[in-house]
Amino acid sequence: MLEALPLLPDDPILGLAAVCRADENPKKVDLTVGIYMDENGVCPVFEAIQQAQNMLVEREVSKAYLPPAGVAGFNPGMQKLVLGEGSTALADGRVSSIQAPGGCGALRIGAEIIQAASPGARVWVSDPTWPVHIPLLGSVGLQFSTYRYYEPQTHGVNFDAMVEDLKGAGAGDIVLLHGCCHNPCGADLSKEQWSIVGDMAEAQGFVPFIDFAYQGLGDGLDADAAGLRHLAERLPEMIIAASCSKNMGLYRERTGCTLFLAKDGKSADALLSQAKVAARRVYSMPPAHGALLASTVLSDSALTANWQSELHSMCGRINGLRSDLVEKLQASTGRDFEFIRAEKGMFSFLGLSSDQVQTLRDDYSVYMLGSSRINVAGVNARNIDYLADSIAKVL
């Protein structure tokens, strides 16, 4: 039986990263996988997380299973982080949440709940979107439509086209939105555009499903959540998949959270009960370590302040890299790359052709996705000149 299964290709992003790791060129530039890297090309551990880890080692006395909803302090901490201390949805008791194995696990639990509520429901996803969204959500049986989002010619959001497409989303439909730092294009909605999406959701009855994986890496923790919070104040129902991978550096700890906003507390409790059953069915029990670290940081004022300071510095560095890259590219190529400075988070499309991307890979050991999507955090003072010069040569 098992021998009949064919060999499948590697994931295109992870496979390309593996090719890059095997490249012996000392000048190689890795702009592939979406993780934050410091000036030394290392994905660092936050000092606040290190402190929390030391505290955990000293006081942890058991490795017993967690409760189905996860670490006790994690869920309320994440609810306040995502929705804000002044959230009326929290004050009204119409929010529930469950710890999940990373942002992917949070998305999957959200999909399980949607499928339970409306089997085969239609999910609207942006064009482009994170490549794993469709297989991750579709594997439960959900169906998909796309709405136009990114305009390559302007390197920004084609909001008129997005609105036109989403006029087709009605009651019972789900609209998947990137909360901030859009993956893969880096082009985000403005406050006014979030408000228009809220108007449409109210009028048409669709439910927003927010992928919120990059809070704090665009303009800051509160600014990045402004659009999502606007919807939460207006709409009766919403699902949010939040992740601690990027803003706390807990990538390998798989620490995420699915939040449910319901019309009232009774419905919120029902959603949590459904989520617990779905979790039991999918992965049984949540992992402990990352959520214990996150809850420790979020519940300790000194650690919270340290973490926020570190995250602020990380965000500032990414935005600084964007500006530096714009200056270098424009000096090297004579072309306009200002769009990179206007984007948010770790990703950007450079607007290169697939042939140019391949030449960069083959001749200069500069690795980016075939779409010319780069991880801006892979740029540093040691490689930025070589990167800009290499791009100039293929242009």
Q: Catalytic site residue 28? A: no
Domain 2-45+309-394 superfamily per CATH? Aspartate Aminotransferase, domain 1 (3.90.1150.10)
CA 366/CA 292 separation, integer angstroms: 38
- What would the pLDDT profile of 150-164 be if each residue is shown by its tens digit? 999 999 999 999 999
Establish whether domains 2-45+309-394 and 66-299 are of one fold.
no
Q: Catalytic site residue 211? A: yes
Give the per-residue pLDDT at 357: 97
Give the per-residue pLDDT at 256: 98
One of 30, 124, 130, 173 is an active-site residue; which one? Answer: 130
One of 188, 246, 328, 344 is an active-site residue; which one? Answer: 246
Give the per-residue pLDDT at 51: 98
Domain boundaries in the chain?
2-45+309-394, 66-299
One of 165, 173, 188, 211 is an active-site residue; which one? Answer: 211
Q: Are 87 and 229 in contact (CB under 8 A)?
A: yes
Ranges of the chain with pLDDT below 50: none
Give the per-residue pLDDT at 10: 87
> Who contacts 40 (Cβ-Cβ below 8 Å, separation ≥6)?
380
CATH code of the domain occupying 66-299: 3.40.640.10
Which tokens hold the place of 103?
A: 């942002």
Give the per-residue pLDDT at 137: 96
Residues in the chain: 395
pTM of the model: 0.96
Q: Catalytic site residue 80? A: no
- What would the pLDDT profile of 48-62 be if each residue is shown by its tens digit? 999 999 999 999 999
